[in-house]
A and B are shown apart, each in its own frame.
Chain A
């Protein structure tokens, strides 16, 4: 059993490496960039879904966590990581291995700091409900942005330039898979049921012995951690960070993915992240009307599918089969 799992993981990693080798060489850079952004957006949407969809909290400050992760990891690689590459190479023999070690530790550091921020934001969530929590998280995100804007070591209003470009397709896909697997596994465990029970009925959840405050904060911490990782990937891909990438609109974009994908549907979030990364690009065709169209599509989608594309359901091959089976039964 465990042996099979390890083999499977090695196969997946091998596949990712292959993809990482071939895709950038065959694909035009524009499409490649979209692919990277899709991966990052999936991490963001799935992690926000844990907070908003599964635990029923209402965070609109996800960009704030992303910013913390992005700036922290960039700070680390910019000031320490780069200088460590030569000495680490002498130990680990390969420069790519040294860079990977530094990059992964930078990402984890960024994620951890974001998680810490999640802990701090999670604490007001003990008292606040619904709209009020939403406003508080929005305020939090904006405060983070203004604070970063005033830190000179990370560029302040000029933006943080010359971040090493460590992000490649491998790492994006790798962390995307990790996020999805971790959150999916968490949801299908006693912890996951505790998250869901908080969403469904807090009073009843408490009466069933679930420490609802703990689970709310827990959701914030995990969600923030992955948002932080996504921020790190983002910064090391663009090699430049500016607080304008983390405005409240950014949080809104992620929420849109979660809501349209269906609150509480991981597959929905993934699909919506793909659609809503590609859609603005398609809309470039209509030029000036692009954002007008985008907002109109958004409104129309909300009016016609208020539950999101998938609602609470997960989408899989099984679902397709079920649909056909049901149709056959109806036909009979």
Chain B
């Protein structure tokens, strides 16, 4: 159960990136899962560079987080400017294919640069049991995963609701043209959205690496797809929805593995997806969108 919540919050963090980008661009950013992968590797090299593998410190861990988030933020910016911006006015499918192209590019470039075989993320925070009573074991790593993701989600929510940029972001997702008429620099807002979303994916990657240290260039595909399902589940374009969706996904998966069989682990995501699409296509927290004649 706790494991499920931990995975859930990871999915939620990645899902936020999908949801935010979908909100402002109406684009399923397929490359997002791969940004997450790059985040893990950026963290890996940051640890090496800072020499943290030998002597883990809290300060060092924070530095790794920030470095990796920064790297991915820049990557997100470059992807948006290079590949998506020229296609603002093109048909949606074109942008989607381009996103897939970017995704393929990151995966394969990753295999070239990082090597195709898995690497092991060093323990930057030693594992300790914080609570272990009555069959419930809570490790400090799980506490960190939960704490950090909660912190990030809450600050994102505050950012979107309270700051001027956040308001502009909501305006752009509501109606891009009207927003630009109100003097909002749409391009800037879209870039900021990508940077934020990518940075969150990087944070998620480091958190995952704490508990599942195996990292490889193709690691982004499955969590990417599942986080995307989580975003749809919660109502795509909806930030609290993405959090809720992520949690449900994480818990459902752990339950399926526990009670059924681990081969169905990946299928459950899609079963949930199809059910939700059939019965409430706008997602749990999504508004109604109908077409007018």
Residues of A within 8 A of B (CB): 52, 58, 124, 127-132, 134-136, 138-140, 142-143, 146-147, 149-150, 157, 202-203, 248, 252, 255-256, 259-260, 263, 288-289, 291-292, 294-296, 298-299, 302-303, 306-307
Contacts and interface: CB of A to CB of B under 8 A. Distances in A.
Contacts of B87: 302-303, 306
B204 interface: no
B293 interface: yes
Given A132-B232, A136-B277, A307-B94, 15 more contacts: A128-B277, A131-B236, A132-B277, A135-B277, A142-B266, A142-B270, A150-B264, A252-B100, A288-B112, A295-B102, A295-B104, A299-B102, A299-B105, A303-B87, A306-B90
25 contacts: A58-B93, A124-B277, A124-B278, A127-B281, A132-B277, A134-B96, A135-B228, A136-B274, A138-B270, A140-B270, A146-B264, A147-B267, A149-B263, A150-B261, A255-B97, A259-B93, A259-B97, A292-B105, A295-B103, A295-B108, A298-B101, A298-B104, A302-B97, A302-B101, A306-B87
A146 B268 CA distance: 10
Contacts of A134: 28, 96
B58 interface: no
Contacts of A52: 93
A251 to B, nearest CB: 10
A128 to B, nearest CB: 6
Q: Which of A139, A252, A259, A289 has its CB near the most chain B CB atoms (within 10 A)?
A: A139
A143 B274 contact: yes
Nearest to A303: B86
Nearest to A58: B93
Contact of A294 (B91, B98, B104, B278): B104
Interface residues of B, number: 45
Ranked nearest first, the 9 interchain pairs of A and B with the lowest CB-CB distance are A139-B270, A295-B104, A295-B105, A291-B108, A146-B267, A306-B90, A298-B101, A299-B101, A306-B94
A203 B104 contact: no
Contacts of B105: 292, 295-296, 299
Nearest to B104: A295
A309 B261 CA distance: 46
Interface in B267-293: 267, 269-271, 273-274, 277-278, 281, 291, 293
Contacts of B278: 124, 127, 136
Nearest to B266: A146
A263 B273 CA distance: 27
Contacts, number: 119
Q: Which of A131, A135, A149 has its CB near the most chain B CB atoms (within 10 A)?
A: A135
A288 B116 CA distance: 11
B96 to A, nearest CB: 8
B244 to A, nearest CB: 18
A298 B277 contact: no
Nearest to B272: A139
Contact of B281 (A58, A132, A299): A132
B158 interface: no
Contacts of B90: 306
Given A292-B105, A295-B102, A306-B87, A128 B281 contact: yes
Contacts of A124: 274, 277-278
B95 to A, nearest CB: 8
A263 B232 CA distance: 26
B98 A299 contact: yes
Contacts of B97: 255-256, 259-260, 298, 302
A218 to B, nearest CB: 20
A143 B293 contact: no
B98 A303 contact: yes
Contacts of A140: 270, 274
Nearest to B83: A299
B91 A306 contact: yes
Contact of A143 (B28, B100, B228, B271): B271
Contacts of B236: 131
B154 to A, nearest CB: 28
B92 interface: yes
B20 interface: no
B206 interface: no
B21 to A, nearest CB: 12
A154 to B, nearest CB: 14
Interface string B165-184: 00000000000000000000
A298 B97 CA distance: 8
Nearest to B86: A303
Q: Which of B98, B100, B102 has its CB near the most chain A CB atoms (within 10 A)?
A: B100
B189 interface: no
A146 B270 CA distance: 10
A130 B270 contact: no
Contact of A135 (B100, B271, B273): B273
Contacts of B293: 203
A242 B128 CA distance: 42
A142 B267 contact: yes
Interface in B168-220: none
B98 A139 contact: no
Nearest to B94: A306
Contacts of B96: 134
A233 to B, nearest CB: 26
Contacts of B137: none
B109 interface: yes
Contacts of A143: 267, 270-271, 274
